[in-house]
Chains A and B, each alone.
Chain A
Amino acid sequence: MNRKLLIQSSLRILLRNKLRTLFMSVGVMIGVGTLIAGQSLGAGVEKEIKQRVNKIFSPGSIMLVSSTLTYSDVEAIESQLDQVIASAPRWGYAEFEISFQGSNRKAAVFGHTVEGETVWNRSVTEGRFFTSSDISKAARVALIGHRLAELLFGEGNDAIDQEIMIGSVPFRIIGVLEPQGIDPHGEDRDEDIFVPITTAMQRLYKSDYIGIAKLIVSDIEAVDDDADEIAEILREEHHIAVGEDEDFAIYTSKFVGRMIQKANKVLTVYMMVAAAVVLLVAAIVIASIMLVVVRERIAEIGLRKALGATEQNISFQFLAEVVTVTLISGVLGIGLGLGAASLVSMHIDMPVIVNLNQVAMALGAALAVGIASGIAPARKAARLDPVEALR
């Protein structure tokens, strides 16, 4: 058989039956488009969320959360575990009434140490961060998010050295915090206020407990093992007997990474299931169109057999016609899916990430639909009796 001539003639037939070819391709285009859009958006969303979470949960970081966590707990961990290279407790985050010259706003107030600047990964763009003397003296100084500064002092006005009231305590602004945007909970982190942790404990919260501490360990990969050791230390510090419930929770960067992946996987799986359903319907549509086509082209099949086509030649031709349609539709579907994904990504401000695996998978799906839907019509055509077909 001369495949080149056969494929040429198949392409001619497809092009000369444009409407039918279009009907056959729409389903595959939408299915493959959904597949590729879901995957590229999913990968983009995962990357973006990871990046945002990394600002707080940088690789190798461990978060301790407990209503009974104390400063001395953190000191005990640091002194017993060499792997811990930095630690920063934080008090927060209750909202306080912030007032400036008669205007009032509510804002989340966090207590930070000197190490907070690096460990919590947030510095200042104006003024300075806390010094150790701010901490030891429990100084009434504060850092302010740039959006809150704008709301309080007006746009373009200098925030440094302004006096504000947090609750009933006067504070002096010494710096403007680095912009951070909206966090995954939907809170605008640019409306935060930072004060020295000692000041927060003594003057605002009036408590010995610090609430949250963040630790950085030396080996990013060992972060989960380190978390187990920290749990042991905390159980001892908090006098928790074996079998008793812990009064603290420990989150590692790896744990959070896994959670994001899991959540994102659910999204991606939903999209893939939707794509699979569309592709299945497409396959059924194509198969039924092709069965009609076989009936319509019965004389052509009989003729081809009379002219020397074998059963294999005939089934190859019909399979090739279907697979050609689905593969071309697959390529168009990839373009369609990427276009849709880019539109959505512009809307939700997330990147689109395409890789070769996704493209290969999409084309594989198109090929599979072609073979699955073409095989029955192709066999039917191949088995036609030429005498009957030519009558």
Chain B
Amino acid sequence: MIKIRNISKTYQRPGEGELKVLDQVNFEVERGEFVAIVGPSGSGKTTLMNILGLLDTADVGDYELAGKSISSMSANELAKTRNSTIGFVFQQFHLLPRTTATENVELPLVYSSGDGGDARNKAVKALCRVGLEERLTHYPSELSGGQQQRVAIARALINDPDIILADEPTGNLDQVAGQQIIDLFRELNEAGSTILLITHDPQLARQAARVVHINDGRLTAAAPWVSDDGATAVQPIRTETQQGTPA
């Protein structure tokens, strides 16, 4: 599904020289997998997510998504691929304000090649899948954080994407609502969706079928701060933490 080879990305910081965000990253996700990439902030995980989501490009390296090499794609082809292949779930939900749940979920269909005639039906179906059949005409401001994130997940599902990219999807939620979102991802994964979860929280990541760690722009199989029994040995730097660390 996803295959990246030797991806590197360097930013120029004015006055501070170069910053190597990703360094020779190799990574694969198979169809039907539920993979978590976990790492502290500043580890390069957001840059990796942006590259995987075709929102950013790597300086060097190859990227194959759903069997196609993306390095030769034009900007418009990249946009089309984002629309049909990837479902995004963001930390800040990114729902359009003053727009109903159904209308928000319809949004990707605006940029699809289909005629959009059954957009309403598809959106309602997607909202039912995330358990929001009672909230179809609610505005984001009338929904709880967890419900808003479910609307965003329904939006990610509407085009039947090959992969769902979720960047810190529980970062703005309390623990209960966050766990419900992770449960929803597990359900979707069991029903066949490929899911890539990006988080700073090792406890959350452990609920994925496979965990990959990122630190200083490099991927490693085992985290330096997680011992074998899963307890936190070394406290990672956590600037975005809202959840308490379970004892």
Contact = CB atoms under 8 A, between A and B. Distances in A.
A and B interact:
yes
B168 interface: no
Interface in B215-244: none
Given A12-B99, A387-B55, A310 B76 contact: yes
A309 B84 CA distance: 11
Contacts of B96: 13, 300, 303
B110 A6 contact: yes
Contact of A308 (B79, B98, B114, B115): B79
B199 to A, nearest CB: 17
A217 B96 CA distance: 76
Interface string B43-81: 000000010010110000000000000000001100110
A310 B114 CA distance: 16
Contacts of A303: 90, 94, 96, 107
A308 B103 contact: no
A300 B80 CA distance: 18
B102 to A, nearest CB: 12
Contacts of B110: 1-2, 5-6, 9, 304, 307, 309, 313
Given A16-B98, A313-B111, A387-B56, A308 B83 contact: yes
A305 interface: yes
B112 interface: yes
Given A5-B106, A9-B107, A308 B94 contact: no
A2 B112 contact: yes
Contacts of B112: 2, 308
A311 B88 contact: no
A308 B88 CA distance: 11
A125 B98 CA distance: 73
B37 interface: no
A271 interface: no
Given A303-B90, A307-B83, 14 more contacts: A1-B111, A2-B111, A2-B114, A5-B106, A5-B116, A9-B106, A13-B98, A304-B107, A306-B82, A307-B110, A308-B82, A309-B110, A309-B111, A310-B79
Interface of A: 1-2, 4-6, 9, 12-13, 16, 299-300, 302-313, 386-387, 390
Interface of B: 50, 53, 55-56, 75-76, 79-80, 82-84, 88, 90, 92, 94, 96, 98-99, 103, 106-112, 114-116, 119, 155
25 contacts: A1-B110, A2-B109, A2-B110, A2-B112, A2-B114, A2-B115, A2-B116, A4-B116, A5-B119, A9-B107, A9-B110, A12-B103, A13-B98, A13-B99, A16-B98, A303-B90, A305-B55, A305-B82, A307-B108, A307-B111, A308-B82, A308-B108, A310-B79, A311-B76, A312-B76
